[in-house]
Amino acid sequence: MGNARRFAMIPGPKPLPIVGNSWRFAIGQKPWRTKSLDATLWRLRELAGTGGAAKVAKLFGHPDLVFPFSADETEKIYRREDSLPHRAVAPCLRHYKQELRKDFFGDEPGLIGVHGMPWSKFRSKVSKALAAPEAARSSVPCLDYVAEDFVKKMDRMLDENRELPKDYLTELYKWALESVGAWALGTRLGCLNNDDEAAREIINSIHGFFHSVPELELSAPLWRLYSTPAYKTYVNALDSFRALCLKRLTDKGICANIAKSSGEKVATILALDLLLVGVDTTAAAAASTIYLLAKNERVQMKLQTELDNNLPVGRVMHSKDLDQMPYLRACLKEALRIKPVILGNGRCIQSDTVISGYEVPKGSHVVFPHYIMSNEERYFPSPQEFIPERWLRGQSIDTTDSNAATVCKRQKEKGIHPFASLPFGFGRRMCIGKRFAEAELHILLAKIFHKYQVSWRHSELTYSVTPTYIPNEPLQFTLKQRHKGNNPAFN
């Protein structure tokens, strides 16, 4: 602490008397706009300069935010994290669980929006069943069925130009919800079937939920003063998700195991959390990975060669099949590096500390802006280029693309800092669904790119934070069926 510079010296936008920095976000001019947090982070990066950190101080009802733009510093902070890491997000979920529906959640409110001992107790009850490699591996066959149905549905969605519909992102939400349902609840929810009345209700709740979250989480918290329309939609959606989890808990799936060991209530609350954070995240990751592959013919062709050699035909997929597809795994890693679903992960600092040489008082919020670090030249040469080979150890890149080969060589010389791209967070509070999400995405991507040549005929997508990082424009990919003799996988 002795040699550290004072907190006040951390650069950042200058707060005005009384209104602090909140006015910037209230006016919403770029880069100070919640929807454009990507631009906000780049601006803060500029302000941080060589000092390595920036801050946004004096926000109404919010502790000061500190942004360390360094993978080394990120590593240090994560590694000295105490046993109860505090991730200060989802105030409206905290309100729902611990105020509005306290009667139901009681002292076991789950993982999301929960801190301290209640979080730790709950996480230790569910951690083994969820995060163990076997939990995701055993889910592969059931996820295969869901992905298979979804890819068949994609065929029916195509218009006369073989383009996917404007609301393809919504279709991806349905696939993700159906997948989480199959894994967690051990049942098919019917989201891929538009004619199913119960499924329509779930889909309407999903729409309601995802449309209200950005307004509640990222704008001024007016819902604390009165029941805004977004707040009402949000509460109705959560109530119906909760009812769904209670009704659809079966004797199969991950939550059934939890019900046996910790009771039905814990299992229901866990199912609700998994549905809440396990749908928009994987849908956004699928959207960005398909987009990056569609724009990159070289990578897509190389992936298809791997799929042609390893994807089982005429039988359901198993985790061992996925083990044979390192290039597929590298494609997802590279997509999550360029377009992470969550731009920055946060922690509330539990004791006074030093970050990037500055004093940071207890109670400040540190935001690890891994979207910036994973898109910076100093960590990833030619960061905007989609080159999955960066992630493959000991594999030489084909020399047909000399630029990709050069970038890859530079990346190999530099190495990859393990804290420069952390799309799933780190430590005791890291994403508990990581392995499941990866398996789910690998299976879907494998099926899509095995069956189709995917291309992108529109202008470059732009992105917004809502609060996941998703494209603004419709995802009208063009699909051309690949031909390969009488292979049944193509029928």
Does position 198 bind ligand HEM by CB under 6 A? Answer: no
CA 220, 222, 227, 228 torsion: positive or negative?
A: negative
Min. distance of Cβ 360 from ligand HEM in angstroms? 18
| H-only helix segments in 10-139 | 22-27, 37-48, 71-79, 91-95, 102-105, 116-131, 133-137
Query: What span, in angstroms and rounded, lies between the C-alpha atoms of 310 and 207?
Result: 37
Query: What span, in angstroms and rounded, lies between the C-alpha atoms of 282 and 444?
Result: 11
Residue number with CB closer to ligand HEM (257 or 281): 281
Token look-up 């940071």 returns: 360
Q: Are 404 and 102 in contact (CB under 8 A)?
A: no
Residues 46-105 touching ligand HEM, rule: CB under 6 A, are 87
Does position 280 bind ligand HEM by CB under 6 A? Answer: no
Does position 342 bind ligand HEM by CB under 6 A? Answer: yes
Stretch touching ligand HEM by CB under 6 A, among 196-204, 287-295, 317-325, 431-439: 431-439
Does position 375 bind ligand HEM by CB under 6 A? Answer: no
Residues composing the chain:
491
Does position 430 bind ligand HEM by CB under 6 A? Answer: yes
Token code pair at residue 48: 């941080």
Amino acid in the structure at residue 441 = L
Contact with ligand HEM (CB under 6 A): which of 88, 151, 277, 448?
A: 277
Min. distance of Cβ 276 from ligand HEM in angstroms? 8
Min. distance of Cβ 72 from ligand HEM in angstroms? 18
Does position 13 bind ligand HEM by CB under 6 A? Answer: no
Min. distance of Cβ 324 from ligand HEM in angstroms? 22
Does position 433 bind ligand HEM by CB under 6 A? Answer: yes
Cβ neighbours of residue 201 under 8 Å, at least 6 residues apart? 240
CA distances from 46 to 20, 38, 54, 62, 70 (A): 21, 13, 9, 23, 13
- Does the annotation place 431 within a ligand binding site? yes
CA distances from 466 to 237, 348, 377, 470 (A): 17, 22, 26, 7
Token look-up 């939890």 returns: 258
Query: What span, in angstroms and rounded, lies between the C-alpha atoms of 491 and 166?
Result: 25
Beta-bridge partner residues of 127: none
Residues 117-146 touching ligand HEM, rule: CB under 6 A, are 123
Beta strands 365-368 and 65-68, pairing class? parallel
Stretch touching ligand HEM by CB under 6 A, among 68-76, 260-268, 341-349, 478-486: 341-349
Residue number with CB closer to ligand HEM (249 or 404): 249
Cis? peptide before 467, omega within 30° of 0: yes
- Give 423's Cβ-side CA count (13 Å radius): 23
Contact with ligand HEM (CB under 6 A): which of 52, 68, 423, 467?
A: 423
Contact with ligand HEM (CB under 6 A): which of 65, 266, 432, 446?
A: 432
Token code pair at residue 362: 């207890």
Does position 285 bind ligand HEM by CB under 6 A? Answer: yes
Residues 247-276 touching ligand HEM, rule: CB under 6 A, are 273-274
Residues 157-186 touching ligand HEM, rule: CB under 6 A, are 180
Q: How many residues bind ligand HEM (CB under 6 A)?
A: 27
Min. distance of Cβ 428 from ligand HEM in angstroms? 8
Residues that bind ligand HEM (CB under 6 A): 87, 111-112, 123, 180, 273-274, 277-278, 281-282, 285, 341-342, 345, 423-427, 429-433, 436-437
Binding-site sequence positions for heme? 431
Binding-site sequence positions? 431
